[in-house]
Structure 1
Amino acid sequence: MVALPKFSAVLFDCDGVLVDSESITNGVLHQMLQELGWQLSAEECIARFVGKMLRDEADVIEEQTGFRIDAEWMTEFRRRRNDQLAASLQAIPGVVAAVHRIAEIYPGRIACASGADRPKIELQLRKIGLFDVFEGRIFSGMEQPNSKPAPDVYLVAADSLGVDPAEAAVIEDSPTGVIAGVAAGSHVLGFCPDSPVHQSAETLLAAGAAETFTLMEQIPGLLTE
């Protein structure tokens, strides 16, 4: 039986959906915050910062450390983060095969719409072998007027693909991203594997996800009729 697309397009978040990057990025952030004098635990760092734009958390970092993160600090953070990602990043289990299958079902109508900066997104997609699948359809929230939880990056991605965002599916793993997808009017599927850097199904559903799933092998079936 031929699988038929259920939506007009599929828009993927990157971190935590395509790549298992959150623990790496958060580890670098945890170390650098400790260097500023904030002795928070790794678990607290994950709870506070995963799924959020670091530049949007400048106030809380200054409140805890007395230091206002600036362009120089952010450049150093990104350098150290990218070095670690280049060395250790892995794909989310099952996602490479799943994305290739979805690309067959939705030819030219899949995109990566991440809140991260473009160099990071492209580094990560190249590292896991998915850059060619998304090439020309990669969107950074940092290049939009507003980052997630605003819907800007999803609206731009849908417009670039020539589809109504209300007819697109969004794949997200954080409450911030789910809120962005819902604000775009899209059908949001929440990815919630059993992982210390992922949210529970209940949390994603409370943020507005239409449904949740725990394994990437499930996703082609969720996107087809």
Structure 2
Amino acid sequence: MKFEAILFDCDGVLVDSEPITNGVLRDMLEESGWTLSAAECMRFFVGKAVRDERATIERRTGQPLTEAWMQRFYERRNLELDTRLEIIAGAHAAVRAAFDHTGQRITCASGADRFKVEMQLTKVGLMDFFAGNIFSGHELPRSKPAPDVYLAAARHLNAAPQRCLVIEDSAIGVTAGVASGATVWAYCPEPEQGTALLQAGANHLFADMAELPQLLALV
């Protein structure tokens, strides 16, 4: 089936941002009284919005999750991303292939805030593909694992979700894509994560973003 539209997640799919963002978050949580290893922080927070975990953060730190704390987190996160962010290897060719496959009907549908998504796409040279077609879970009633961001992206492109392809890398994101009715392919460079992605409903796993052009050529 040739897909009418392809909907990309951002963090971990197009940009290698997760270790950077979660490193800042881990440091700030430790400063607030909740000590996590880097691996524990990744396992708990990848695919989630920090605000959605307010109750857990407040219980573990014993402090309210204030707007001032969130603003400091955004500032420190953005500074680190601006300094250290890199594109996922093969992502530029993958996006180009998706752009051509669908006649330019692609979106970036992320659970992150819009500023972060746009900053990252600009920094790694992908913004020209996605300008005007970026969706943030922060701007919708529910973020992932709810399907809202993918439904909004498909609607914007006037594409039936059942004829859309979602590219994700986390179980939470896969769950959102499946709930929207789309086909979900999961980018899975770490084999040990494959079981969780398949259990969440991914139709296919691929380990290298450079594989995507060949995969699209077969549908």
Does 2:120 align with 1:127?
no
Alignment check: 8 A CA contact 2:33 2:62 kept: no
Q: Please tell me the residue identity of whatever aligns with 1:222.
A: L
Does 2:186 align with 1:193?
no
Who is 2:78 aligned against? 82
Give a deviation string over 1:173-225, Cα, whole Å, max 9, x none.
Answer: 00110000000000000111038xxx611110001111110001111222233
Q: Please tell me the residue identity of whatever aligns with 2:15.
A: V
Does 2:170 align with 1:174?
yes
Root-mean-square deviation (CA, aligned residues, Å) is 1.2
SS at match of 1:171: strand
Does 2:207 align with 1:214?
yes
Give a deviation string over 1:94-128, Cα, whole Å, max 9, x none.
Answer: 11122112212222211100000000000000010
Q: Please tell me the residue identity of whatever aligns with 1:19.
A: V
Does 2:24 align with 1:31?
no
Q: Distance in 1 between matches of 2:93 and 2:165?
A: 18
2:53 pairs with one of 40, 46, 57: 57
Q: How does 1:3-22 map to 2 (within 5 A)?
A: 6-22=2-18
SS at match of 1:170: strand
1:72 pairs with one of 60, 68, 74: 68
Who is 1:94 aligned against? 90
- Deviation of 1:62 after TM superposition, in Å, equals 1.1
Q: Distance in 2 between matches of 1:206 and 1:55?
A: 26
Q: Distance in 2 between matches of 1:39 and 1:155?
A: 37
Q: TM-score, normalised by structure 1?
A: 0.94
Does 2:144 align with 1:148?
yes
Who is 2:44 aligned against? 48
Q: Which runs of 4+ in 1 moved over 4 A?
A: none
Structure 1, unmatched stretches of 5+, are none
Q: TM-score, normalised by structure 2?
A: 0.96
Deviates more, 1:105-114 or 1:12-21: 105-114
- Deviation of 1:68 after TM superposition, in Å, equals 1.7
Q: Distance in 2 between matches of 1:169 and 1:163?
A: 11
Alignment check: 8 A CA contact 2:183 2:203 kept: yes
Q: Please tell me the residue identity of whatever aligns with 1:131.
A: M
Who is 1:162 aligned against? 158
Alignment check: 8 A CA contact 2:101 2:216 kept: no
Give a deviation string over 1:9-63, Cα, whole Å, max 9, x none.
Answer: 1000000000000000000001100100112211111111111111111111111
Residue-pair matches, total: 218
Alignment check: 8 A CA contact 2:150 2:176 kept: yes
